[in-house]
Amino acid sequence: MENRNLEIETEIGILKTPHEVFEAIVDPAQMSNYFISRGSGRLEEGKEIIWKFPEFDFEFPVKVARVEKDRFVSFWWESDGIDLLVEMTLTERNSGSTVVRITEKSRELDEAGLKWLQGNTQGWANFLACLKAYLEYGINLRKGAFDFMADKP
């Protein structure tokens, strides 16, 4: 039988140690410099936290599934009534840099699934670019990037 599920996979290299990358992912104070406007707590196993994004008027609950310090973070969040698993894997390179790999799964291969695949793939690629810019250069690429969305009907 053919697999009819869609999954997102994206990755990037960051010129920082796995510990530095891990802390930027789990610490809401750091995340507010590149991803969210605020978070209700650190990503810690078994916790449910709330993320607020600057361009949206609503909050996103995140249920933290598994955390392995400096190596792995996974959580569940909801999209269109479907719980989706996000996994972030940190792999140290010989140079002291880190490869960050993100997967999000899964949605059915249908029109709604394809829309999710396109939007969230763009979102996770943006997350990784913003994380890299923040950690390597201290730049918040997200600031003002989505202001145009407020003008859309």
pTM, two decimals, is 0.91
Instruction: Judge whether 62 and 104 are in contact, CB under 8 Å.
Output: no
Q: Using 50, 70 and 90 to split pLDDT, how confident is the model at 46?
A: very high
Neighbours of 26 (CB within 10 A): 20
152 lies in some domain: no
> Tokens representing 111?
């029109």
Q: Is the pLDDT of residue 1 over 50?
A: no
Domain that holds residue 36: 5-147
153 lies in some domain: no
94-140 pLDDT per residue, tens: 888 999 999 999 999 999 999 999 999 999 999 999 999 999 999 99
Q: CATH number, domain at 83?
A: 3.30.530.20
